[in-house]
Structure 1
Amino acid sequence: MASKRASSRSPSPALESAHNSPQCPSKRTKSAPGILASHRIFILQAKLSHTDISEIFDLADSADADVVGSPDEADIVITAIGMRKRLERHIDWNLAVSVELSLASKRKALVTPDWLRDSVAQGSSLPCADYAALPDLNLKEEEHQDEKRPSSKSESRFTSLHGSLPPARSQSPPRAAHADVTPPAFLLPPPVPPPDVELDHTAHLCCSRPSSLIYVNQPLCAALDVLRRSRALESNERSALSYGRAIASIKAFPRTITAKERGEVQKLPYIGAKISKMIDEYLFHGHIPEVEEMRQSERFKALSLFTTVYGIGPTTARTLYDRGLRSLRDLEAYYEVDTGFTPVENNESPDLNIRIALGLREELMLTIPRKEVEAIHATIMDHLNTVEPGCVSTIAGGYRRGKPESNDIDIIFTHPNAKSAKNLCGRLVERLRSAGLVTHVMHLSGFHEYDALRTAQWDSLEKALTVYRTPNNGQHRRVDLICALPETYWTAVVGWTGATMFQRDLRLAAKSVGLKFDSSGLTRRRDSRLTFPRSEKEIFDIIGIPWVNPTLRNTDA
């Protein structure tokens, strides 16, 4: 029998129209079939734990209840909320009052989860009035108590998430490839905001500003980026960050900077006296003397060249330079890469990874057109859905930000069933390797416990950083495969979409409202409580910033 569970997992009434989930088959045997067949139930998930949500959905399904996607459609609203102020974060109070006042007639009811538990246990629909979630006699007292509790903008947004995502039910494997699989509603892309929604180019954080791929002040930003890269290569992170912020601010400026615009440009975020002077030099001379000097620096050119090789960061590059290396030929000799070098399987040895990257450097340095990105993605998804039918995925990185050509490919994927998503990255890599599509695995990691204190550099997702060989011409490409659990899918997509400065400021915006953000989820700072947004847009809504189309997140030069 098909489950009648609909989109009640959606985070709030305002978002429900974008989160109507498809029905999915259930193989469970009902303990009391049909006892709630005439009831339409809306499950308000706020204040319910992961376990409670899963239990309530199972009980509703076992009793044949019609779980609807909006409280307006429901006869019964199940909630753990007992205070008006908290309830108003999720349901319009006029609706809540109409539901509450109609308890006596039993046409509608606002009940605690115990009503469903006891009804299923006793095999009949029990009187709703005995399980009123917001009794009239206690409402004012509870509301008064709630007002005494400290609250904040971040807690209000956080609480509106309805807890974590309940585990998806088992689904019958689809017959067709990934293009024919209908994913659950929480894995569908968010609606694009109305075209009249404008972003403020003077916003303090670049995650709230529009940054298109092609912009009017590109030559100036490219010049300043030379100085940013030079600071980063010397591990002067503070100075590199200052240049990065200034570049992001100039990128969002909608007009070509001229002498007439100088006054307005100086008021932009992160444009201080030093950057203003460089802008003046650029306007009056057509170049910035410090930039030209840096471009001619042997050290800058060598370090820049070394860091184009996968596995060589600024620290390693400086070490190699100090040992007298200056060119790619020097690198090849140092790492014993000769003309006839054939890459071999690695064991995640840094030096061996660098040898592999050097041996394949000419191919890996070639950019990848969008059509080829899409073809590689389609091939990988075909194999993925053979390994585990029903997966969904998103191409992230520069491709998602609209780049016509990419340096590498980032693919985020998951399965609606959390159990099926476990070790999915490793299983996919083994299949791709057996098919001759993955020749090298530069890094492979599985899921690990969430690090609330961010003591580790990596997030808690499954990852495989691979070298992929195209089946048509044998061209080697860098492909990063990232598997997320279904509840962390959208934070993973946002985190791996980039750009670097956009992600940095997104974390700052989250911090300003008492949250931590990374690809693994959103965490409340005061108690490390995790929450899992059900769409990309909801992440922005929780943090309290406007949703930015991925094509406007190109904050880096």
Structure 2
Amino acid sequence: MPFKRPAAAYHESSGYSSGRSKPPETSPDVNVPSKRSKVRRSAKIFPSVKAYIVQAKMDGPTIAELFMLAERHCERLCDYAEDADVIITSITMRRRLERHIYKAVVTPAWLRDSVAEGEALECTPYVALQDLREETINNCPVCNVRPCECEDTDVDEQAPGPETSYPSPPTPAPKSKLAVAGPSTLARPIPSHLLPLAPPIPTELSKLRYASKYACQRASPLICLNQALAVELDIIKRSRALEGEERSALSYSRAISAIKAYPRRITSIRQVEELSHVGTIANSERFKALSLFSSIYGIGPSTARRLYALGLRTVDDLEVYFGVEPEEEESQLVELEHHERFGRASESGLGETWIKIALGLRNDFELMIPRAEVEEMGRVVMDELNIVEHGCVSTIVGGYRRGKPQSNDVDIVFTHPDPTKSKGLCKRFVHHLHKKGMVTHVMHLSGFHGHNPLRTTHWDSLEKALTVFILPPSSPFYKGTRRRMDLIFAQPEVYWCAVIGWSGSIMFQRDIRQWAKDKKGMKFDSSGITRRYDSKPFYPKTEKEVFDLFGLEWVDPVWRNADV
């Protein structure tokens, strides 16, 4: 049993990025929205059905969701339509599906609703094209197994199909969630360049190159065709990072980002799994312990290795070492002023105070946040911000903006059209939320610093607060669950730089910064763009203008998932 930590605290940098690590037990399937599924995760709904998904007219998150549902519940997800029993599509024009007329052609809701009900549903209510209704019913694998009770149902009387339940947007990607505080008539009109473009900008995938050296020139979906291989390599990458071998970890990160953008299925996954260290690393006691420790908010690789060297192996060991008491999870409310003093010196990492807090709140922090709750948190925050300062705008960024069905935390970027009202607004707003009981802890609170073209650390110079947030009891999503929420305030002239920087993914951001340096002689981060040789600043007025300034093709956020 490890000894209890002595009274004298030992402080060591742990790195903010470690707070975003996933627990080692997390598999790539945990983000799949299960809706109201009545079956066990391992059960197949369609054990004898082969499916093919027509990706046209679907956005990135929809494609990822349907692929994962089909791979989990169907006999096989086919690469070619000719091999499938069922064609799933959002296309409504017959001439684009003419070669599929001898198949059951259904809308995506057939797959979603079948999984939700726990059994394969008949195809009739989900016919994608009504002039192919007869062909779909005749070829439906479910209707041909048991009598279909609704074959004679009139078209006008049938149950609403997925075109009304799950509309597919005409563009290839959903745009960022942006909110405006206050009524539509503002004393100071919001400049148009702070609002997203309408209609949204489509990504021209044909102009992106999957073999490019830079992730910012590739289209990286949330779930790629070779996701299993990427996950195996990610185990090695995390092992290297946990052991302090950053260069080796970066090499694996680059390999993963290249695989994420590869447009064809790699057929040698079985061989890769048999390579030495791929299957054994994940099962080693050291890797499991280091991964577990680094999944705790505030513990980075160096701190994880130090704790392991002391003989700690489990969460219980950590609780004993850091002196976490059971009642602290509910009772501890840290004073904001203490966090302000600590925050000024915490840019290199979170101290042991926050590790202790994170351990007490770990049961809440381990729960993923559904997209609907993310949006509710954004709405509540904007309503409160309107009370503090009228007329702000915001964008929910992070994994949410890249199309993830669930998030580990919530990141929101704010600004105000009047630059004089943006500075200091972060602290005022956090004080307000703290008094209202919505912010219970503040891990970091920083003020504004000018963009520094010579800075080499990853930490930007924006005003930000890393907080623990809880929805008010009046919210329909209130469950008393504490969530991690990062509030980032930017001046209006660098707002879209902040949105891009905080949207991720890590490798996409790393390579767009590298591209700006290598190809344009510029420095880019969330707090702005400057020319390196004379520090001249540039102020893009739209998100796309950042890409244009660097000579890059536009990449929608849902194609920026260059990490596992």
TM-score by length of 1: 0.63
Cα deviation code 1:254-280 (max 9, x no counterpart) = 11112xxxxxxxxxxxxxxxxxxxxx5
Cα deviation code 1:173-206 (max 9, x no counterpart) = 9862899996311101145334655222122211
Map residues 41-190 of structure 1 onto 2, 5 A cutoff.
Answer: 176=183, 183-190=190-197
Map residues 396-545 of structure 1 onto 2, 5 A cutoff.
Answer: 396-471=397-472, 472-512=478-518, 513-545=520-552
- Aligned equivalents of 2:466 and 2:509: distance in 1? 20
Partner of 1:294: 281
Cα deviation code 1:195-231 (max 9, x no counterpart) = 6552221222111100011111111000000000001
SS in 2 for 1:289: coil
C-alpha change, 1:180 and 1:324, in structure 2 (3 Å) is: farther
Which AA in structure 1 matches 2:382?
A: M
- Aligned equivalents of 1:445 and 1:178: distance in 2? 32
SS in 2 for 1:509: helix
C-alpha change, 1:324 and 1:177, in structure 2 (3 Å) is: farther
Partner of 1:554: 561
CA contact (8 A) 1:468 1:476 kept: yes
- Aligned equivalents of 1:322 and 1:178: distance in 2? 60
CA contact (8 A) 2:273 2:279 kept: no
- Aligned equivalents of 2:298 and 2:384: distance in 1? 28
- Aligned equivalents of 2:275 and 2:215: distance in 1? 24
- Aligned equivalents of 1:175 and 1:248: distance in 2? 41
Are positions 1:321 and 2:308 aligned together? yes
CA contact (8 A) 2:409 2:484 kept: yes
CA contact (8 A) 2:521 2:532 kept: yes
CA contact (8 A) 2:181 2:392 kept: no
Are positions 1:306 and 2:293 aligned together? yes
CA contact (8 A) 1:212 1:554 kept: yes
Q: Unaligned 5+ residue runs, structure 1?
A: 1-172, 259-279
C-alpha change, 1:506 and 1:336, in structure 2 (3 Å) is: same
SS in 1 for 2:266: coil
Aligned pairs, number: 363
Partner of 2:142: none
- Aligned equivalents of 1:177 and 1:235: distance in 2? 51
Equivalent residue for 2:214, pick from 205, 211, 235: 205
Are positions 1:343 and 2:332 aligned together? yes
C-alpha change, 1:295 and 1:455, in structure 2 (3 Å) is: closer
- Aligned equivalents of 1:365 and 1:174: distance in 2? 31
Partner of 2:4: none
Identity %: 53
C-alpha change, 1:285 and 1:498, in structure 2 (3 Å) is: closer
- Aligned equivalents of 2:205 and 2:407: distance in 1? 29
- Aligned equivalents of 2:258 and 2:426: distance in 1? 38
Are positions 1:193 and 2:194 aligned together? no
Q: Which runs of 4+ in 1 moved over 4 A?
A: 177-182, 194-197
C-alpha change, 1:257 and 1:499, in structure 2 (3 Å) is: same
- Aligned equivalents of 2:513 and 2:448: distance in 1? 22
Which AA in structure 1 matches 2:384?
A: H
CA contact (8 A) 1:207 1:548 kept: yes
CA contact (8 A) 2:232 2:273 kept: no
Which AA in structure 1 matches 2:318?
A: L
Partner of 1:395: 396
Partner of 2:223: 214
1:457 is displaced (CA, Å) by 4.5
Cα deviation code 1:493-533 (max 9, x no counterpart) = 00000000000000111012111100011110111111111
- Aligned equivalents of 1:448 and 1:421: distance in 2? 12
SS in 2 for 1:202: coil
- Aligned equivalents of 2:378 and 2:186: distance in 1? 12
- Aligned equivalents of 1:458 and 1:246: distance in 2? 25
CA contact (8 A) 1:500 1:556 kept: yes
Cα deviation code 1:114-160 (max 9, x no counterpart) = xxxxxxxxxxxxxxxxxxxxxxxxxxxxxxxxxxxxxxxxxxxxxxx
Structure with the larger RCO, 1 or 2 (CA within 8 Å, 6+ apart): 2
CA contact (8 A) 2:498 2:526 kept: yes
Equivalent residue for 1:256, pick from 256, 261, 265: 265
- Aligned equivalents of 2:504 and 2:186: distance in 1? 25
Q: Unaligned 5+ residue runs, structure 2?
A: 1-179, 343-350, 473-477
What is the Cα-based RMSD across aligned positions, in Å? 2.1
Which AA in structure 1 matches 2:526?
A: S
C-alpha change, 1:211 and 1:456, in structure 2 (3 Å) is: closer
- Aligned equivalents of 1:344 and 1:192: distance in 2? 43
C-alpha change, 1:538 and 1:174, in structure 2 (3 Å) is: closer
- Aligned equivalents of 2:301 and 2:181: distance in 1? 47
CA contact (8 A) 1:189 1:535 kept: yes
Partner of 1:369: 370
Partner of 2:122: none
- Aligned equivalents of 1:514 and 1:344: distance in 2? 47
TM-score by length of 2: 0.62
Which AA in structure 2 matches 1:469?
A: I
CA contact (8 A) 1:177 1:385 kept: no
- Aligned equivalents of 2:563 and 2:362: distance in 1? 24
SS in 2 for 1:490: helix
Cα deviation code 1:99-123 (max 9, x no counterpart) = xxxxxxxxxxxxxxxxxxxxxxxxx
